[in-house]
Amino acid sequence: MAKVRVAILKAPGTNCDGETAYAFELAGAQPEWVWVEELKTNRKKLEDYQILAIPGGFTYGDDLGAGKLLANELKYRLAESLDSFLRRDKLVIGICNGFQMLVKAGILPSGKLSTEQEATLSWNDSGKFEDRWVTLKPEFNICVWTQGIEEPIELPVAHGEGKFSPKDQTVLEHLLGYGQIVFHYCDPQGKEAGYPWNPNGSVGNIAGICDPSGRIFGLMPHPERHVAGLQHPRWTREGLAGEGQGLQIFRNGVRWVEKHL
Amino acid sequence: MLRRRRATQRGEANPPSPSGCGGRLPSPASLLLGVSLWIRRRRRSWDPAAWHSQRGSREVAKPALNTQTDWRFVIRTREGFSDPDARKLKEDIADLGIQGVEKVSIVQVYYVGGVLTSQELQQIGEKLLVDSIVQEYEVEAVHPEPPVRPSTGSGRTGESKDFIHSQVVEVAYHPGVRDPVEDSLKKGALDLGIAGLRQVHTAKEYAFAGSLPAEQLTRICDRLLVNATVQQIVTPENLERLLNPPAGSPLSIETVHLMQASDTVLQRVSIDHQLSLNLEEMRAIQAYFRTQKREPTLIELETLAQTWSEHCKHKTLRGPIQYTEEIDGKIQKRTIQNLLKSTIMRATEELNRHGCLSVFEDNSGVIEFDEEFAVCFKVETHNHPSALEPFGGASTGVGGVIRDILGTGLGAKPIASTDVFCFAPPDFPAEKVPPGVLHPRRVIKGVVAGVKDYGNKMGIPTVNGAVLFDDRFVGNPLVYCGNVGLIPKDKVTKQVSPGMQIVLAGGRTGRDGVHGATFSSLALTTESEVVSATAVQIGDPITEKKLADALLLARDQGLFSAVTDCGAGGLSSAVGEMAADSGAKVFLERVPLKYTGLTPAEIWISESQERMVLAVAPADLDRLLNLFREHGVEATAVGEFTDSGWLELFHAGISVGKLEMDFLHGGVPQILRPARWSPPGLKEPEIPVPSDLADCLLKSLSRWETCSKEWIIRQYDHEVQGGSSLKPLVGVANQGPSDAAVVRPRLDSPRGVVLSNGINFRYGDIDPYWMALLAVEEALRQIVAVGGSLESVAILDNFCWGDPTRPEVLGSLVRAAQGCYDAAKAFGVPFISGKDSLHNEYRVGEKVIPIPGTLLISAIGIVADAARLVSMDAKKAGSRLYLVGSTKPELGGSSYYASLGFLGASVPQVDLAQSPLLMSAVSRAIGQGLAVSAHDCSEGGLAVAAAEMAFAGGLGLTLELEKVPRPTTLTREDFILFSESPTRFLLEVPEEKSADFERALAGFPLGKIGQFQKEPVFRVIGLGGQSVIDVAVEVLQEAWQAPFKGW
């Protein structure tokens, strides 16, 4: 069987592309760097890939808000191909800056390109960029990327603008009601808790959400930074795990494509 | 509409200032009052029905049409959403002791100029500038002289009532200081299909509600909001200049009359043109042009000044020195021809170690990593720019050293950063801060923010660092920025051949950074921020990221054969160095500019950031230029390398400069400099035995340099690229202070790069020789403490010293260099690169505040298997704690003495025979899995190191001082606890491995000094068998974390 093809989207300022590609490789896929410019000039086509991964970074310096300029670029310059990609039951994952971009483009939580922004990721309550490890509690959800993850997992966050805020209560209730909230920040015991366990002040401790189909997934923490035991901050005291807890997410995506597409 | 005015005077092109005093903050109260008044009047001047565009009523009116108009967008946070920046500013104001500010709001302002329709303005506002969930915007046309209405009426629309009587200040950059957001906004507008947007300027508007006297508002502006070096308070006058900057002068080839000049005139020429050349050098230039039978052009003088600057040439360390040393009445004299060659480089040569692929040649030193790859390492300083503008100075410092890595061989991929700072303490009394100097708190926050911004945006993990404090750094902080790169072994060498094209790639060239290299070779004075406004820049990491991505792709396609960075001295240095053995022709009009009006000399010496110079074979030129273009990087062929032996500069077909390469690189006169060192005649203090050792320990843990730097570390992305394998913070709660950091640059391999540093200027106050040995030893000790071995380690030197024309300053530098040689030889670790930054002092009138001579040693090593490393946090109750290495009464320069206000004389001494052997033994023992954690004893000695292990592991510890290996004469408990004797390790060994461990360390000073326990108490049993410290581990940790808490 041909390997699942993953487009690792690259724009000026993308910087987690190497480790994201590596994570997909470990999960058995064939990742490929795809520059936004290559899509705009039709040298590469989104339709040739089954998964679109939007990695972390500071696209366009995060000027005018994290992920905003890339969101606009995709929305206004690549609307057609992106729209058809989203409609064709393919998978999308946006990590950190990629999540910010999906939210600012209105693709999350709606799953569609044409919608107005229904939520945002804005400045951390602490007012600071922070790199720290967080514990994530999986909620009952419909996300294809996290199936089988039932216990809390640990991943690092590294962002300044990660505070999730829905537009209003209706949006929040909708997310809850349709199983679109994928991960909550929690303390190491799995309980709801404030800063620093919730590193940014996200409303409802929300760390990651998906669209109503469960195929489009966005999260602030970095699963690609925890695919190997050596990446964990306490491997020297807790023992070296065979693999990192983020790898399952990539594996889920790849398996789903293998099964459904 | 603002009137457009064009000035032709060159002087007017410089950043103007509100009150015409060249970039300094204008005098206070009256102006501020004027500003807030003006802004409010302006608000009232427009008719809401026709002009205002709130959310909901989106009619933006009239002046759009076909003429260029300037528009002012304001973006504010919606009610109900928090603004962390405003909250922090309010806290900072309270920190200044200013009461009465009830509320602070910050509004982002964009001045947008162009031919834009009302619909387009609406799109820019809604789709580009605001995040509609949390923000809202207004837009209005900018009016130059708003008519004043009768002063009734309310405050501005859409704002909370608190602000009706608020005071408002708007802050923008000076014209010419470019905010990268401006380009982003233009790009975003194009994505929306808006082509008429011509220019963008950013500003911030601060509003303060509450009672705030004018002089307090001035203090807030001065201390928190405005850095006069790069920023200004917006007034009607300077707003016009911001939006319509006067054009610079037309091309002129300035000739400078030197041939007949007297010495006085020569010196004046050097000062007037900011050349920083001394009289001997000016005379050499005069003599050269006499042989050429013509006067030099200014551009030629500038080129010589850049090339001969201390920053580029290191003429002190490479020049002849007459050294006198007087110890105990015995005088020794000798002449050193080249200090670098005879100490640091000599050690490397004599060690001749395998695996050193490039040393002291390229922009960084290169050592072998594995079969396929090498790693390169460089540490730079960016002290003076960081003193004036901490954010910009530090960020461009990081950007600069990254370009050193990109400019090594045919380009290396940056994989890790290290940053070391020396500041005045954050609690330095505000009234003692010299005029023209920023308070250390602001310097610290700015520097950390600058490093964070550039490093994080480049996607390079910042994994290692250190911060030291001393009052003497108040006017001249030290900012060391280091970077490591990964490079294929077959890309380590570069070659320039005649006929190759000179390609300039990356950012555009502006007036920024003009005279940066010569500026850094001068002492800072109260006037620095006036004369050096252009020497400071704001970095643009995304431009550099694009450049890096494209450069490495071009490298892999073999599209160029040499590359170097445009750093200090700009094109002048980059081309001058690349063409040193051949020759070059440069056509300056081809250089892409940020704005018009630069003279050829300014283009040539500009230090605009984010630029690299490549040598490209003509056949590859089109492919290379295409590749860069596709990645959004501007690249231009600006000239070619020749075999003429001449540097030839042209502008629009006219020759503007012609210099012989031999003279440019070999013509600098050698000056024999006197250097002298004698011991400072210090005494050991008489200190009463403290009654409460627990209190001493708590105080040690709370010292600025010992305490937790988590506030800094977490702001750096230290995990991007995924290779972080031993993090800067470790332990049960991820809070303990790791020794060396380890990253794996190839994710599919367990092989790692280990990084550490050693620095302590206080030892140098006693004897710079021992400071150097201790710095090397400390850097190596940290590598050993995580389980690394010295076999693959290489080191870098970074000398930051005062004015080398003072014999005692140069003398201490000579002595430190000797220490470097002895240390490198004894430990068998070669120096592979280095840097010196001299003239680090601050002058207030006649008074000089020199920094203490400070040597940073940065170490890099290779670990074959990262999975065999250990961290410093205690792992298990019941395991034994061993101390390896002898504790001696060596408290001179220690943290303990410093906390009591003493320096002392008994500087720690490294046992050059035993220390390397002991390190190897420890390294082997850890490699064999005999220890589960290890930590080195450094500042604060045994007590601090043991406490850190305990609280990082969440365990208690009981220590017995009697078991500490030491000379029998050492009987003071405080000295045993806080001595900083080098080459001491604390190792946690499981009970069952004790015997093997003791065998492995047989022959070295070794004591089983304690045991970890569940009971979370840190207990020390004194020499008499009584408990002398008994404190909850949590209390120790809190003391350690307290100083930066809440920052």
How far is the C-alpha of B314 from the C-alpha of B518, rounded, in Å?
A: 12
CB < 8 Å to B933, chain A: 236
The verdict on a CB contact (< 8 Å) between A237 and B953 is yes
Interface test with A, best of B186, B542, B732 (most A CBs within 10 A): B542
Minimal Cβ distance to B128: which of A72, A119, A125: A72
Beta strand B673-677 pairing with B321-327: parallel
Q: How far apart are CA B726 and CA B1028, in angstroms?
A: 34
Catalytic residue (choose from B273, B382, B515, B718): B382
Residues 6+ apart with CB under 8 A from B125: B53, B73, B137, B139
Instruction: For Cα atoms A6, A9, A10, give the angle at the middle one, nearest 5 degrees.
Output: 140
Could you identify the residue written with the tokens 């060498």?
B493
- Please enumerate in sequence order all residues whose Cβ is within 8 A of that of A26, keeping only pairs 6 or more positions apart, or say none: A227, A243, A247, A250
Which chain B residues have a beta carbon less than 8 Å from that of A239? none
Chain A interface, best mutation among B129, B202, B710, B714, by max A CB count within 10 A:
B714
Q: Given CB atoms, is A259 within the 8 Å cutoff of chain B?
A: no
CB contacts, 8 Å: A74 with chain B: none
Per-residue pLDDT, B537: 73
Which site among A22, A43, A64 would you substitute to test the B interface, given the most B Cβ atoms closer than 10 Å to its Cβ?
Answer: A64
| Nearby residues of B77 by Cβ (< 8 Å), 6 or more positions away | B83, B86, B105, B134, B135
Q: What are phi and psi of B1013, to 5 degrees?
A: -140, 160
Q: Do B786 and B870 form a contact (C-beta atoms < 8 A)?
A: yes
Which helix (DSSP H) or strand (DSSP E) does residue B658 occupy? strand B654-660
Low-confidence ranges of chain B (pLDDT < 70): 1-66, 144-165, 246-253, 515-536
Parallel, antiparallel or unpaired: strands B741-743 and B356-358: unpaired
Tell me how far apart the alpha carbons of residues B109 and B204 are, in angstroms, rounded to a whole number: 5
Question: Is A96 marked active-site?
Answer: yes
Note the pLDDT of residue B882: 98
**Could you say which of A64, A77, A234 has the minimum Cβ distance to residue B185?**
A64
Q: Phi/psi zone of residue B253: left (φ > 0), alpha (ψ -120 to 50 degrees), beta?
A: beta
* A34 inside 8 A of chain B by CB: no
Cβ contact B192–A72 (<8 Å): yes
- String of DSSP letters for B286-330: HHHHHHHTSPPBHHHHHHHHHHTSHHHH-HHHHS-EEEEEEETTE
State the average pLDDT for chain A. Answer: 96
Q: Pairing relation of β-strands A181-186 and A130-138?
A: antiparallel
**Coil, helix or strand at residue B422:** strand
- Contact residues, chain A, for B714 at CB < 8 Å: 128, 130-132
- Would you tell me how many other CB atoms lie within 10 Å of the CB of residue A65? 22
- Complex prediction ipTM: 0.97
In chain A, what's the furthest Cα-to-Cα distance?
51
Q: Within an 8 Å CB–CB cutoff, is residue A69 touching chain B?
A: yes
**What was the pLDDT predicted at A223?**
98
- CB within 8 Å: A15 and B720: yes
Whether A188 contacts chain B with CB within 8 A: no
Q: How far apart are CA A78 and CA B373, in angstroms?
A: 39
Which of the residues B747, B873, B987 would you substitute to probe the A interface, choosing the one with the greatest number of A C-beta atoms within 10 Å? B747
Residue B125 DSSP code: I
Helix B941-953 vs helix B1033-1041: angle between axes, to the nearest 10 degrees? Answer: 110
CA distance B734 to chain A (A): 7
Q: Of the listed A19, A73, A96, A226, which one is catalytic?
A: A96
Q: Which site among B547, B556, B727, B988 would you substitute to test the A interface, given the most A Cβ atoms closer than 10 Å to its Cβ?
A: B727
On the CB side of B363, how many CA atoms lie within 13 Å of its CA? 32
Strand segments, DSSP code E, in B828-895 are 831-837, 841-844, 847-850, 854-863, 880-884
pLDDT at B727: 97
Mutate to test the interface with A, among B81, B179, B194, B717 (most CBs of A within 10 A): B717
Minimal Cα–Cα distance from A256 to chain B, Å? 25
Inter-chain touch B82–A233, beta carbons under 8 Å: no
Domains of chain A: 5-260 (3.40.50.880)
Say yes or no: A220 contacts chain B, CB-CB below 8 A.
no
Among A230, A220, A248, A224, residue whose Cα is nearest residue A100: A220
- A224 to chain B, any CB pair closer than 8 A? The answer is yes
Query: Pairing mode, if any, of strands B933-936 and B1006-1013?
Result: unpaired
Cβ contacts of residue B610 below 8 Å, gap of 6+? B399, B403, B506, B507, B539, B540, B543, B544, B547
Q: Which residues in chain A are contacts of B724 at CB distance < 8 A?
A: 225, 231
Q: Which of B311, B384, B439, B935 is catalytic?
A: B311
d(CA B364, CA B370): 18
The answer to whether A51 faces chain B, any CB pair under 8 Å, is no
Contact between chains at A127 and B85 (C-beta distance less than 8 A):
yes
Q: B632 and A12: CB-CB below 8 Å?
A: yes
CB contact under 8 A, B132 and A227: no
Residue of A16, A228, A231 with shortest CB distance to B459: A16
Is A12 within 8 Å of B726 when comparing Cβ atoms? no
Q: Is B875 in contact with B934 (CB distance < 8 Å)?
A: no
The minimum CA-CA distance between A56 and chain B, rounded to whole Å, is: 9
Closest listed residue to residue B438, CA positions, set B395, B407, B477? B477
Contact between chains at B457 and A58 (C-beta distance less than 8 A): yes
Token pair belonging to A150: 């039932």
The answer to whether the CB atoms of B732 and A19 lie below 8 A apart is no
- Give which of B891, B884, B893, B953 is closest to B924, Cα–Cα: B884
Hey, are the CB atoms on A231 and B457 less than 8 Å from each other? Answer: no
Q: Tell me the pairing of strands B478-488 and B373-381.
A: antiparallel
pLDDT for position B534: 53
Contacts of A4 (CB under 8 A, 6+ apart): A28, A29, A30, A50, A51, A254, A257, A258
Q: Which residue has the tokens 């608190």?
A: B162
CB burial string B333-357: b at 16+ within 10 A, e below = eeebebbbebbbbbbbeebebeebb
Contact, B520 vs B841, CB < 8 A?
Answer: no
One-letter identity of residue B727: K
Contact A236 B933 (CB under 8 A): yes
First to last CA, chain A: 12
Could you give the CA distance from residue B799 to residue B668 in angstroms, rounded to a whole number? 22
Q: Does A238 touch chain B (CB under 8 A)?
A: no
For residue A37, give how far its alpha carbon lies from the nearest alpha carbon of chain B (Å). Answer: 7
Instruction: Report the alpha-carbon distance of residue B362 to residue B833 in Å, rounded.
Output: 9
Kind and range of the H or E run holding B922: helix B914-927
- If you ran DSSP here, which 8-state letter would residue B871 be given? B
pLDDT tens for the 261 residues of chain A, in order: 799 999 999 999 999 999 999 999 999 999 999 999 999 999 999 999 999 999 999 999 999 999 999 999 999 999 999 999 999 989 999 999 999 999 999 999 999 997 889 999 999 999 999 999 999 999 889 999 999 999 999 999 999 999 999 999 999 999 999 999 999 999 999 999 999 999 999 999 999 999 999 999 999 999 999 999 999 999 999 999 999 999 999 999 999 999 998
Q: Which residues of B touch A189 (CB under 8 A)?
A: none
A56 vs B: CB within 8 A? yes
Q: In this predicted structure, what is the pLDDT of residue B597?
A: 76
Q: What is the per-residue pLDDT for B843?
A: 87
A151 classed as catalytic: no
Distance of residue B472 Cα from the nearest chain A Cα, in angstroms: 30
Closest CA to B368 of B875, B753, B634: B753
Which of A76, A225, A230 is the closest to B744 by Cβ?
A230
Q: Which of A19, A73, A118, A224 is catalytic?
A: A224
A70 chain-B contacts, CB cut-off 8 A: none
Contact B369, B363 (CB under 8 A): no
CA B681 to chain centre: 35
Q: Do A128 and B546 touch (CB under 8 A)?
A: no
Among A76, A132, A236, select the one facing B714 at the smallest CB separation.
Answer: A132
A156 close contact with B: CB closer than 8 A? yes
